């Protein structure tokens, strides 16, 4: 594999940022504070790893198209809504996100809740644009997003995460939390990109296996950075999980054990792509990036 993330991530980020700018352009007659909060939460930076995965998965099986753009936007809108709500005082009570005040600090709690609500519905509205040329594809993409974001995915993961505060779950329980909270939407991002480009069932199964591995690897690396990173670099309060007494891979396995876990998941992700040719090299490079990133 000779592909570097620097050869494609900037282009994908530019593509999704341009698309999101269009999606998040609102009439002047609308509530300025609400829509300012929406744009603030989505357009002020971010790694865009989920839409990047959407584009890379489409590239691995076919070609990026308008349905891929809609999918990439939808997963980023869902991600932004989830961050707004996760940062609220009733949940993680964070005051810093991407190096800036969180939405409820920059605006207020009520506006933040409404901004998250609006972003969730905007994600589904964006996917509905696919129905104009393929109703069947639209339904497939909506189904994947619902499973990844809802009560069988991200939301139940957040509920399990909150319930685990001050407890000592074992490794299996911790993985159940993060397979849902983090992994479900990462998996959905990949599968939506693949399906938008015409992936067959065998390709979808392999990419789902890849997504499961890098979804967990992403969380393990986040837990490592919560201990080893700095607030300035990671863009959120260093040590926030420890301060909340939340279970993490580092508290359960130790720093060395967590690094070994990330490396093992990295290898599982690469193995899942063994039947793919060089068009999947972007996905391979992303797997490397996820376990080696510092923010």
What DSSP character marks residue 130? G
Phi, psi of 196 (to 5 degrees): -60, -25
pLDDT at 213: 98
**pLDDT of 179-207, one tens digit each?**
999 999 999 999 999 999 999 999 999 99
Rounded CA-CA distance 128/229 in Å is 40
pLDDT band of 99, cuts 50, 70, 90: confident
Q: What average pLDDT score do residues 32-42 get?
A: 95
> E strands, the chain, where?
96-97, 100-101
**Average pLDDT for 59-83:** 98
Find out whether 112 and 38 touch, Cβ atoms under 8 Å: no
Residue 82 is part of a domain; what is its CATH number? 1.10.600.10
CA 280 vs. chain centroid, Å, equals 19
Which residues lie below 8 Å from residue 269, measured CB to CB, with a gap of 6+? 210, 213, 214, 217, 287
Is 55 within 8 Å of 12 (Cβ atoms)?
yes
Query: Which two three-digit tokens encode residue 46?
Result: 């971010």
Extract the tokens encoding 216: 């967990």
Domain that holds residue 62: 5-292
Place of tokens 């809108």: 77
Contact 195, 203 (CB under 8 A): no
Angle subtended at Cα 78 by Cα 269 and Cα 110, rounded to the nearest 5 degrees: 140
Q: What percent of the chain has pLDDT over 90?
A: 84
Q: How many CB atoms lie within 10 A of CB 2?
A: 7
Asked if 270 contacts 287 with a C-beta cutoff of 8 angstroms, the reply is: yes
d(CA 103, CA 38): 9
Of 154, 158, 136, 134, residue with least CA distance to 145: 154
d(CA 57, CA 287): 12
> What local confidence, expressed as pLDDT, does residue 242 receive?
64
d(CA 249, CA 177): 11
- Helix or strand run (H / E) with residue 132: none
Average pLDDT over the chain, rounded to an integer? 93
Distance CA 22, CA 58 (A): 22
Predicted confidence (pLDDT) per residue in 131-145, tens digit: 999 999 999 999 999
What is residue 37's three-state secondary structure?
helix
| CA atoms within 13 A of residue 152's CA, in its CB half-sphere | 8
pLDDT of amino acid 233: 61
Report the number of distinct structural domains present in the chain: 1
Q: Is the pTM of this model over 0.85?
A: yes
Residues whose CB is less than 8 angstroms from the CB of residue 232 and which lie 6 or more positions away in sequence, other chains included: 99
């Amino acid at each position: 594999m000779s592909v570097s993330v620097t050869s494609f991530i900037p282009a994908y980020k530019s593509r999704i940022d341009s698309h999101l700018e269009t999606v998040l352009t609102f009439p002047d007659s609308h509530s300025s504070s609400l829509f300012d909060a929406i744009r603030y939460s989505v357009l002020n930076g971010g790694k865009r790893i989920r839409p990047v995965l959407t584009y890379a998965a489409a590239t691995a099986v076919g070609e990026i198209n308008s349905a891929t753009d809609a999918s990439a936007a939808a997963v980023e809108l869902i991600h932004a809504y989830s961050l707004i709500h996760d940062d609220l005082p009733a949940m993680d009570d964070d005051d810093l996100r991407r190096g800036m005040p969180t939405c409820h600090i920059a605006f207020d709690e009520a506006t933040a809740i409404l901004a998250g609500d609006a972003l969730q519905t905007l994600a589904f509205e964006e996917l509905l644009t696919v129905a104009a040329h393929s109703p069947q594809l639209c339904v497939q993409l909506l189904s994947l997003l619902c499973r990844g974001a809802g009560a069988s995915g991200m939301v139940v993961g957040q509920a399990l995460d909150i319930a685990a505060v001050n407890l000592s779950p074992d490794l299996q329980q911790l993985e159940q939390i993060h397979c849902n909270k983090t992994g479900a939407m990462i998996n959905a991002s990949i599968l939506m990109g693949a399906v938008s480009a015409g992936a067959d069932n065998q390709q979808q199964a392999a990419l789902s296996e890849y997504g499961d591995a890098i979804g967990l690897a992403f969380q393990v690396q986040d837990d490592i950075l919560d201990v080893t990173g700095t607030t300035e670099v990671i863009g959120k309060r260093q040590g926030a999980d420890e301060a909340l007494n939340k279970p993490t891979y580092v508290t359960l396995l130790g720093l060395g054990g967590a690094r070994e876990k990330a490396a093992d998941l990295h290898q599982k992700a690469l193995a899942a792509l063994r039947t793919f040719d060089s068009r999947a090299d972007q996905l391979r490079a992303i797997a490397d990036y996820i376990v080696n990133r510092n923010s």
